[in-house]
Structure 1
Amino acid sequence: MEKDKVASSALVLAFAEDRALTEMMRLRVSSLQRTGQKRQEGERLLLPHEAVYQLDFSVQQLDFSRWFFSMRGHGRVTVTGICQLWTPDLTHLMTRQLLEPVGTFWRNGTDPDDSPLKFLEADMQEFGERIAELAKVRKVMYFLFAFKEGAEPANLSCSVAFTKK
């Protein structure tokens, strides 16, 4: 289903890369490497193939409807939600703050370029519902996007549709 065919009561929110936050997390990693320090116990450091994205909620009483995900080429993208209102200037990202299940979309290298993306439907449904639940108490929610097997941020479009309660 195309975005323009979604019911008018739907709210479609696009994931936007938070470049400043991604850079701050990369600086944390390079600082630890430069000084020879270790990460805190349970701290989750940003990996080179990851970036921080966010959703801004203008409405907070939402029901999950569906995902819109497109990618040119091949690869795998994993989306992991962060469950607390994260303030990286005050706290480090901890592994206990990461939501389960994660969302994963992919197209194998042997698949035609125009083939639909593959995903685990039950996990994506549950993930969308968890986002809607957290939206009740948030204006912003953060996510880690991991790009693997040839996937690149420039080739990605990801949004999620909700219906307003």
Structure 2
Amino acid sequence: MSSELELPFRPDTELTEVMRLRVQSLQQRGQKRQDGERLLLPHEAVYRLDFTEQSLRFSHWSVQLVDTGRLTITATSQLWTPDLTHLMTRQLLEPAGVFWRGTKDDSVQCYEADAYEFGERIAEMAKVRKVMYFLFAFAEGCTPETVNCSINFTTDR
């Protein structure tokens, strides 16, 4: 028997703050980032997905944008711990999930093939992970307060 499992993306305020402090520290010292290092931009935040089960099949995305705007979700490929290592660009997975809403009357749109492939990759990562980290980039009026995002899987229980 298979059932539906919805996993919400949760903001990781602690990791986001650590990344912001790294940027601030480099700026204050007048230093440059390490070669290949990916610094957090002001309109980005770190989110996490906690897997309660490991054997998942991607079903669909559930992305709600209250207002017009664009949300880009990029996954990190490693169990990233910024207290030990910096986030490197090679650790970012392709494709990213891009979701947008043009006007208040529009429904949320996405690049469907990319979003589907992205969801399948997340399901694959869940087989070996308990948690996964993501960069959420907010643009064109989208903010963390106006986004509700989760991913749905089917699972054999």
Structure 1: which 5+ runs fail to align?
1-6
What's the offset of the Cα at 1:115?
Answer: 1.6
Alignment equivalent of 2:72, drawn from 78, 82, 101: 78
Are residues 1:128 and 2:119 paired?
yes
Are residues 1:32 and 2:26 paired?
yes
Partner of 1:143: 134
Are residues 1:154 and 2:145 paired?
yes
Amino acid aligned to 1:28: R
Are residues 1:23 and 2:12 paired?
no
Aligned mates of 2:98, 2:134 — CA distance in 1? 13
What is the number of residues matched between the two proteins? 156
Structure 2: which 5+ runs fail to align?
none
Partner of 1:3: none
Give the fraction of aligned pairs with identical amino acids, expressed as a percent. 64
Partner of 2:84: 90
Aligned mates of 2:155, 2:13 — CA distance in 1? 29
Contact 2:97 2:114 in 1 (8 A): yes
SS of the residue corresponding to residue 9 of structure 1 reads strand
Aligned mates of 1:114, 1:93 — CA distance in 2? 38
TM-score (norm 1): 0.92
Aligned mates of 2:47, 2:133 — CA distance in 1? 6
What's the offset of the Cα at 1:54?
Answer: 0.3
Are residues 1:53 and 2:51 paired?
no
Aligned mates of 1:29, 1:81 — CA distance in 2? 20
Are residues 1:42 and 2:36 paired?
yes
Aligned mates of 2:126, 2:18 — CA distance in 1? 24
SS of the residue corresponding to residue 119 of structure 2 reads helix
Contact 2:50 2:131 in 1 (8 A): yes
TM-score (norm 2): 0.97
What's the offset of the Cα at 1:23?
Answer: 0.3
Contact 2:2 2:155 in 1 (8 A): no
Deviations 1:7-56 (A, max 9, x none): 97111000000000000000000000000111000000000000000000
Aligned mates of 1:134, 1:8 — CA distance in 2? 20
